[in-house]
Amino acid sequence: MSADRIALKGLRVRGRHGVLAAERELGQEFVIDATLFLDTSPAATGDDLTKTVHYGELAQALAEVVAGEPVALIETLAQRLADVCLAGELVDRVEVSVHKPAAPIPLPFDDVVVTIERSRT
C-alpha cells in the first residue's frame, strides 16, 4: 500500500439524499472530501498524467453520483463515492467523507459527517 495521496476536499454538489420527503423534494448541498492512496512515483518520473488519477475527472464523477439517484443514508452515498474512487485501478485505498451541513436537526450544529475508508480487495 502506498503512502502517497491525492486529496480532493470541499467538493460542493446539490443532491436529494435523506430519509425525509422534504430532503428528497427540495435537495440540499453536500460537501465531499476524498483522499486516494496510490503510488504517484510512476507519474512523477515520467511526468505522465495517464499514470495517476486525473482529479478533474474524479471530481466530475463524484459530482454525478451526488447529483444522481437519491439514497436515504449518507453512509450509502459515501460507499457509492468510494466505489467510484476505487474503480481506477491505480488506487489502493480511499477515504471518503460526506458532509451534510444542512441536515434536518432542530438544534444548532456545524456539520454532520460520515467518513469511510475502503481498500481494494
Catalytic residues: 100
And the C-alpha cell for 22?
422534504
Residue 72 to residue 65: CA distance in whole angstroms:
14
User: How far out from the chain centre does Cα 84 lie?
Assistant: 8
Q: Are 82 and 63 in contact (CB under 8 A)?
A: no
And the C-alpha cell for 44?
512523477
